[in-house]
Amino acid sequence: MKMLNTFLFGCLASLSVAAQADAIMIRGATVHTMSGDGVLENTDVFIAEGKVQRIGKDLPLAKGDVRVFDAGGKPLTPGLFAGVTAIGIAEVPAVEESTDTGHALQAMHPEFNVVPAYNPNSSLVPVTRIEGFSFTLLGPDTVGSIFGGQGQMVRLDGAYESFLGSPVLFINVGPDTNKLSGGSRAARWMLLQQAMQEADNPPVSTETALLTRAGRGTLSAFVAGGKVVFNVDRASDILETIRFAEKYGLDLVIAGGAEAWMVARELAAAKVPVLLNPLANLPANFDSLGARLNNAAMLEAAGVVIAISSGETHNARKQRQLAGNAVSYGLPHAEGIAALTINPANIFGVADQQGSIQADRPANLVLWSGDPLEVTSAAEVVVIDGKLIPMESRQTKLRDRYLPENPAMPRAYIKP
Amino acid sequence: MRYKTLLALLPALLTLPVGGARAEDYPSTYAPLSSEPTLITHATILTGTGERLDDASLLLSGGKVVFVGKGEVPAGVKTVDAKGRWVTPGLIDVHSHLGVYASPGVTAHSDGNEMTSPTTPNVWAEHSVWPQDPGFSRALAGGVTTLQVLPGSGNLIGGRGVTLKNVYSNSYQGMKFPGAPHGLKMACGENPKRVYGERKQMPSTRMGNMASYRAQWLEARQYIDDWAEYEQQLKAKKDDAKPPKRDLRLETLAGVLKGEIIVHMHCYRADEMMTILDMADEFDYKVGTFHHGVEAYKIADTLAEKGVCGALWADWWGFKMEAYDGIQENIAIVDRPKGACAIVHSDDAEGIQRLNQEAAKAMGSGNRAGLAISPEHAIAWITSNAAKSLGVDSYTGSLEAGKMADVVLWNGNPFSVYAKAEQVYIDGALVYDRENPDRQPVSDFELGQLQGVLQ
């Protein structure tokens, strides 16, 4: 045991050389603060001890070892939100033993929580963060149960302790759960109401109970506080969801929301934010006949807080492209960036940690080669929790192994 | 009935494909829509042949490209001033399931994969195409003028694909690209061995996959030989000459062996692609295009040497084991050797709407890796190379005099997330105009939906 500890310590010590809390100066950036300060031209940002220390013009260089990056006017944004993903809980989705996203127990288990399954050593963590993503909402698979269970915000710096905020509960009322509710969405509301009532009044007989004791405890906790994400697309179902959440005192977030634009006023009035995929424009099923490309723009214009969530895990980096397309279809550019930064941070209560560039806050920021929403741009410098992220992943290493032409030895000897 | 008539005619029709099938069953009834001669001026034109022309003109007339750059303009042609805008050939997706996995994606629309036997070369995707798929209109708004609809990948040999012009019609025949060869969808790796292995049936391994394809090719060779022998007997005027029994399965495979049908092979891993290329040598046929090829970058030189295209994604990866080694430079590295044929494909009703953005991402990744790829080069990935893959490059895929006037007018550089197709022409006809609702098709399915709530 002792030997193991020494060994582990040795590994961690060598790893920490690459990713420590650095002193970093970014000179002359266009800083998208996503705070009340707006966009600051030709501005320096100084990072030390994990935090943004100063933001200003021509900042003096502190003594000691400071990494300096000359931005030359390029955009600097907060680290981006990767959406609701299974990063770290699904290495290869088709490989069952590498995937921990859902319990598929059919019965209602709101107490299921994917957090203990999270593996910061997943190859997806570097793949995603070097594209400028500093946080994601880890979410359970909602296909196998009406209650998908709980997830939580996680920082993508690859630390073992990297969870942020509080648990988030996921409930799926979409048509894919019809078979779990006797073939009817009306029965789904019936079951959900019964579950909520059980949270307050435990059933006399366990045979007729929907929930375990732990499940009742979870629901009670969410009535007291905590975000509850409902997967729902159809306009009438969104309204029903708002009524349900109001009745039981749940702090509601809509995910999906293909037809949310049709009830934008009601969403705005109820102050319900929406996680959406702005590319959804096909009638994928009878719940999303109204899917359209300017959903994001119409919601934002109506005063609904939106955040981008593609639903993709391995390709979560596509989030930027989604925001770009939303902008192309009418969302103001600044709101496109907000939907990837401050909005998701605010929605899930982690805005003190993520989503903006502000002095005395943890430094999560990205310097871009160009417009961060443009498909030909890329992240050049990524800082997560004050640490300079090495721009390496399993994919960059495969790239660098196969880029050289006609190597003398097999490529297994090229170890970038 | 037709079969008997055909047999009676056979002696006179010895040039027919093996098996006695007509040159074109289920023939295309596509006819170009009416068009007027159109001159597009002051555009930045990416020709699809590697050229970029600035402040250039393009004349479309009679459904064809008349000239690109400069040329004689007849009086009275409609002129579109494209100052600040870009023009490309119509985009081509070599891998789509529109129509066979139509929206809405209900079970009743799941017509893309006949997963009842691991080898179904007898099925034709076109017989599943629902021409009212709303996805066709979305792809059109993304500048897609031609697409190949393929069967799914659950089978080793999934069946014939069909190349369509992206125009709405009451029948798929009305969309069918005239003169386009059939494709044959085949699949490597995990999907077939999973689907059939779970049923305790062959194939359940990659070696089982190989044994199963090889058995099929052997049968197909025999089928060709049987028909050749019969034709010999006819020539020798043997009275008792009896034709072999026509077999739809073997007819398709024989079509591949005779070079009339193009193989489109779903294959992820580099080593598997190499094995498949050896099999193609063993049975003397050609693999036209590897699809998905997430590891194609590992064998880019071989693909180029063998003249095999790679139809690839910009960044999809990791969803299954054989997709674990995906990198964003795949397309750019496959594109690097001389004679390479890199293609961006979608396999997706969303992706097909943004082939230009997918190509832009691949170009950006390649450029950051130092491969120096220009827009005039990268546009070939979604136009001319794709046309070559489908065997329609003599008709479309580039802007050259005499080719089909399949053209997209973009509001700016198409290699941008903000670019939108403003106008799309197919055979010279304006089939999509972003500014004019009269030129925006709506499928029967979507007509009149969502009218209940009165606003």
Distance between CA atoms of residues A281 and B139, nearest Å: 11
- When pLDDT is cut at 50, 70 and 90, the band that residue A88 belongs to is very high
Which pLDDT score is estimated for B375? 98
A290 near B CB under 8 A: yes
Across the interface, do A92 and B317 touch by the CB < 8 Å criterion?
no
pLDDT at B7 over 50: no
> Where in chain B are all domains bearing CATH 2.30.40.10?
33-88+398-438
Residues belonging to chain B: 455
pLDDT at A157 over 50: yes
pLDDT at B212 over 80: yes
Token pair for residue A40?
């600051």
H or E element: which one contains A310? none
A309 near B CB under 8 A: no
Which pLDDT score is estimated for B353? 98
Give the number of other CB atoms < 10 A from CB of residue B253: 28
A62: closest CA of chain B, how far (Å): 32
Distance between CA atoms of residues B95 and A7, nearest Å: 50
Average pLDDT in the A257-285 region? 98
A177: closest CA of chain B, how far (Å): 14
Please state which of the ranges A5-19, A319-333, A361-375, B68-82 shows the lowest mean pLDDT. Answer: A5-19
Domain A80-354 has CATH 3.40.50.2020: no
Which pLDDT score is estimated for A104? 72
Which pLDDT score is estimated for A103? 78
Average pLDDT in the B128-148 region? 98
A369: closest CA of chain B, how far (Å): 10
In this structure, which topology does domain B33-88+398-438 adopt according to CATH? Urease, subunit C; domain 1 (2.30.40)
pLDDT at A175 over 90: no
Token pair for residue B76?
């009275």
Which pLDDT score is estimated for B176? 98
B47 near A CB under 8 A: no
Across the interface, do A321 and B361 touch by the CB < 8 Å criterion?
yes
Give per-residue pLDDT as tens, B18-56: 444 556 899 999 999 999 999 999 999 999 999 999 999
What residues 197-236 of chain A have any CB closer than 8 A to a CB of chain B?
235
A377 near B CB under 8 A: yes
Please state which of the ranges A10-24, A127-141, B339-353, B427-441 shows the lowest mean pLDDT. Answer: A10-24
A403 near B CB under 8 A: yes
Across the interface, do A376 and B360 touch by the CB < 8 Å criterion?
yes
* Residue B80 near residue B409 (C-beta atoms within 8 A): yes
Segment of A15-29, A208-222, B15-29, B77-91 carrying the highest mean pLDDT: B77-91
Task: Indicate which of A101, A399, A400, A401 best probes the interface with B, i.e. most B CBs within 10 Å of its own CB.
Answer: A399
What residues 354-373 of chain B have any CB closer than 8 A to a CB of chain A?
354, 357, 360-361, 363-364, 367-370
> Which ranges constitute the DSSP H helices of A329-382?
333-338, 342-347
Across the interface, do A403 and B369 touch by the CB < 8 Å criterion?
yes
> For chain B, what percent of residues have pLDDT higher than 90?
93
Across the interface, do B417 and A317 touch by the CB < 8 Å criterion?
no
Q: ipTM score here?
A: 0.94
- When pLDDT is cut at 50, 70 and 90, the band that residue A21 belongs to is low
- Helices and strands: H and E segment counts in chain A: 11, 16
Output the 3-class SS for A66-110.
CEEEECCCCEEEECEEEEEECCCCECCCCCHHHECCCCCCCCCCC
pLDDT at B307 over 50: yes
Extents of the domains making up chain A: 80-354
A151: closest CA of chain B, how far (Å): 21
Which pLDDT score is estimated for B22? 54
A399 near B CB under 8 A: yes
Cβ-based contacts under 8 A for chains A and B: 117
What is the SS3 assignment for A160? Answer: coil
> Where in chain B are all domains bearing CATH 3.20.20.140?
91-396
Average pLDDT in the B441-452 region? 96
- When pLDDT is cut at 50, 70 and 90, the band that residue A208 belongs to is confident
Residues in contact with B399: Cβ distance below 8 Å, sequence separation at least 6, in sequence order: B45, B47, B48, B49, B58, B65, B68, B87, B88, B89, B407
According to DSSP, the β-strands at B429-433 and B78-81 are: unpaired
Q: If you average pLDDT over every residue of chain A, what do you get?
A: 93
Across the interface, do B104 and A403 touch by the CB < 8 Å criterion?
no
Which pLDDT score is estimated for B453? 87
pLDDT at B8 over 50: no
H or E element: which one contains A169? strand A163-172
A292 near B CB under 8 A: no
B448 near A CB under 8 A: no
A62 near B CB under 8 A: no
Output the 3-class SS for chain B.
CHHHHHHHHHHHHCCCCCCCCCCCCCCCCCCCCCCCCEEEEEEEEECCCCCEEEEEEEEEECCEEEEEECCCCCCCCEEEECCCCEEEECEEEEEECCCCECCCCCHHHECCCCCCCCECCCCEHHHHCCCCCCHHHHHHHCCEEEEEECCCCCCCEEEEEEEEECCCCCCHHHCECCCCCCEEEEECCHHHHHHHHCCCCCCCCHHHHHHHHHHHHHHHHHHHHHHHHHHHHHHCCCCCCCCCCCCHHHHHHHHHHCCCCEEEEEECCHHHHHHHHHHHHHCCCCEEEEEECCCHHHHHHHHHHHCCEEEECCCCCCCCHHHCCCCCCHHHHHHCCCCCCEEECCCCCCHHHHHHHHHHHHHHHHHHCCCCCCHHHHHHHHCHHHHHHHCCCCCCCCCCCCCECCEEEECCCCCCCCCCEEEEEECCEEEEECCCHHHCCCCCCCCCCCCCCCC
H or E element: which one contains A135? strand A133-138
pTM of the model: 0.94
* CATH number of the B91-396 domain: 3.20.20.140
pLDDT at B129 over 90: yes
Nearest CA-CA partner of A175 in A248, A261, A249, A283: A283
Average pLDDT in the A279-305 region? 98
Across the interface, do A403 and B446 touch by the CB < 8 Å criterion?
no
Which pLDDT score is estimated for A177? 85
- When pLDDT is cut at 50, 70 and 90, the band that residue A205 belongs to is confident
B269 near A CB under 8 A: no
> For chain B, what percent of residues have pLDDT higher than 70?
95
Residue in B104, B138, B364 closest to A376 by CB: B364
Q: What's the burial of B79, exposed, middle or buried (CB within 10 Å: 0-12/13-18/19+)?
A: middle
What residues 96-125 of chain B have any CB closer than 8 A to a CB of chain A?
103-106
A325 near B CB under 8 A: yes
Across the interface, do A375 and B361 touch by the CB < 8 Å criterion?
yes
Residue in B364, B415, B449 closest to A289 by CB: B449
Residue in B327, B349, B368 closest to A282 by CB: B349
With beta carbons under 8 A apart, name residues in chain A contacting B369: 399, 403
Average pLDDT in the A38-66 region? 96
With beta carbons under 8 A apart, name residues in chain B contacting A235: 453
Please tell me which residue, B13 or B148, carries the higher pLDDT value: B148
Nearest CA-CA partner of A369 in A35, A72, A47: A72
Which pLDDT score is estimated for A365? 98
B3 near A CB under 8 A: no
Average pLDDT in the B207-221 region? 98
For residue B441, cis peptide bond before it (omega within 30 degrees of 0): no
> For chain A, what percent of residues have pLDDT higher than 90?
85
